Structure 1
Amino acid sequence: MTSAPSRRRLSFGTMLLLTLLLLLAAAAATVWALARWPGAARFLGVAEPGALAAPPAPAMSLAVQPQASALPSADAVRLAALEGRLARVESATQRAEGSAGRADALLVAFAARRAIDRGVALGYLEPLLVERFSATHPRAVATVVTASRNPVTLDQLTADFDALEPVLKGGAPNEGVWDGVRRELGSLVSIRRADRPSPRPNATYDRAQARLAAGQVDLALTEAMRLPGIARAGGWVRRARIYVAAHRSLDEVESAALLAGAN
């Protein structure tokens, strides 16, 4: 029969064993809770409140992300290449359009000069000339159009000048007999500087005729205005001035045509 002291020792050992088992179970439960539930560490006071808020790996990826986005993608590179090609094509198209516009303007200007030189009307060239140049050179266009409706050619001016030789070398219409005698006597002997042209009618007429042969109607007109009988050749002077004005206007139109593509 077991005595009372033995039962007390047995009960104490059993209680100690149970206490150890409970402690082990509590420790295991604590470890499991810490592993499964991050909030348990904050509840038990073994971790700071913000320690487990953000894991380090996502922070590193966020730090690397701006560098990755800064690098151009393949689509961005292709898009930039296409934009560059498009800009070059547009520039080439503009240059081609400018060259075509300059060529068309020059063609119209040269055709108008040919018509004026031949002494024919502009015809279909007249509206083209007006459309191309009247906005910037209205006076020149009007002069060319007017001259084409009353054409004057170089051959006509030369032939008329040759026919007017006796008139141009003679005196003015209101010249008297005494004035004619003085003019004839003055033409026999003349004193002038060596660097000045001869004022004698024959020499002046020859210079004007040479200018006409060279196509220099403006200079020929200047020489002809020194002849004593020029007052009797008013029709020739008027036609010569029309010719000079028309060709100066054609020069202006051709200069504008050369700059048509640049504008």
Structure 2
Amino acid sequence: MTSPATRRHWTALLAWGLLLLVAGAALATWSLAEWRGAAQFLGVAPRPPAFALRQAPPPTVFPTPAATDDATRTRIADLEGRLAAIEDRTRRAAGSAGRADALLIAFAARRAVERGVPLGYLEPLLAQRFGASAQRAVATVITTARDPVTLKELASDYRALEPALRQGPPDESAWRALRRELGALVAIHRADVPSPMAQARYDRALAHLERGEVDLALAETTRLPGAARAAPWIGKARRYVAVQRALDEIEGAALLSSAA
């Protein structure tokens, strides 16, 4: 049986334990409230974020430029004028280069036609360069070059045609032929008018041919008595005149052309 002294001893110990427990709880509560690190350590307070958002610096405000002075405006105007002049010279140089190329093609085509050789690589160049501006002339040159007619050939054939040209047409009667021959013996005409006699016309036509004046030779030939006998030659001469005019048109287009 426990003695009264023992009971008082245990009662005192229990009282001190309760007192210490209450004091410890109060101390812990105060520490958690006042010391944030302890609360975070014990897990009863949220931890701060691992990193903080960095505030963007304020935008840089550039000062408004001062009004441009007269000297600066003058320099700017001078530079703009120089740039415009450079652009103009560049365009002119490009146009001159394009014009030179076009003239080279036109002269080469004329040379080939006059020599009576095929155009070869010049055919697509002519069509590409002048097909839009001188389509008919290009077609005439290409067609004639495939069946060439030269001035030398025309003159040679014309000399061989002299007897036929001085005669009358194939269906001429003997009486008309006699009258024509008698009329050719004497011809009266003005001094400033070319002689209408057949031999004189033929000589003039041949002289025109030798100077390269095929159109004038053709005009004289069509007035000769035997012009009907020279139909093939007349056809060749007309083709020659047509291709020369076509070449003139192409060269004119080349002179007016620019860089393309």
Is TM (by shorter chain) over 0.5? yes
The number of aligned residues is: 197
Aligned to 1:125: 122
Structure-to-structure mapping, 1:175-190, within 5 angstroms: 175-190=172-187
1:20-62 per-position Cα deviation (integer Å, ceiling 9, x unaligned): xxxxxxxxxxxxxxxxxxxxxxxxxxxxxxxxxxxxxxxxxxx
Structure 2 residue aligned with 1:69: 67
Listed as ranges, the matches of 1:235-254 within 5 Å are: 235-254=232-251
Give 1:166's match in structure 2, choosing from 149, 154, 163: 163
Query: Distance between the aligned counterparts of 2:211 and 2:205, measured in 1?
Result: 10
Q: Which amino acid aligns with 1:85?
A: R
Of 92, 102, 110, which aligns to 1:113? Answer: 110
* Equivalent pair of 2:165/2:224 in contact (CA under 8 Å): yes
Q: Name the residue aligned to 1:142.
A: 139
1:168-206 deviations in Å (ceiling 9; x for gaps):
111110011111111100100122222221111110000
- Separation in 2, partners of 1:73, 1:199: 83
Say whether 1:91 aligns with 2:96: no
In the aligned structure 1, how far is the partner of 2:130 from the partner of 2:143?
Answer: 15
Partner of 1:8: none
- 1:205 paired with 2:205, answer no
Question: 2:98 pairs with 98, 101, 107, which one?
Answer: 101
Pairing partner for 1:215 from 212, 216, 234: 212
Q: 1:175 and 1:199 mapped to 2: Cα distance?
A: 19
Quick one: distance in 2 between partners of 1:79 and 1:71? 11
Distance 1:98 1:105 in 2: 11
Question: Superposition pairs for residues 220-239 of structure 1, below 5 Å?
Answer: 220-239=217-236
- The amino acid of 2:69's aligned partner reads L
> Structure 2: which 5+ residue stretches go unaligned?
1-63
Cα distance in 2 for partners of 1:149, 1:131 equals 18
RMSD over aligned Cα atoms: 2.2
Instruction: Give the secondary-structure state (helix, strand or coil) at the position aligned to 1:221.
Output: helix
Q: Deviations over 1:48-106 (max 9, x none)?
A: xxxxxxxxxxxxxxxxx99x6252575x6665444333222211110100100110010
SS in 2 for 1:187: helix
Higher fraction of helix: 1
CA distance in 2, matches of 1:146, 1:70: 67
**Which of 132, 148, 151 is the equivalent residue of 1:151?**
148
Report the Cα distance in structure 1 between the residues aligned to 2:75 and 2:121, rounded to whole angstroms: 51
SS at match of 1:136: coil
Determine the C-alpha separation between the residues in 2 that align with 1:217 and 1:83.
57
Which runs of structure 2 are paired with 1:12-51 in the superposition (5 Å)? none
Q: Distance in 2 between matches of 1:165 and 1:184?
A: 16
Q: Which moved more, 1:232-241 or 1:192-201?
A: 192-201
CA separation in 2, counterparts of 1:82 and 1:73? 12
TM-score (normalised: structure 2): 0.71
Superposed CA deviations along residues 135-158 of structure 1, whole A, max 9, x for unmatched, are: 011111111111111100000000
- Distance between the aligned counterparts of 2:141 and 2:160, measured in 1? 27
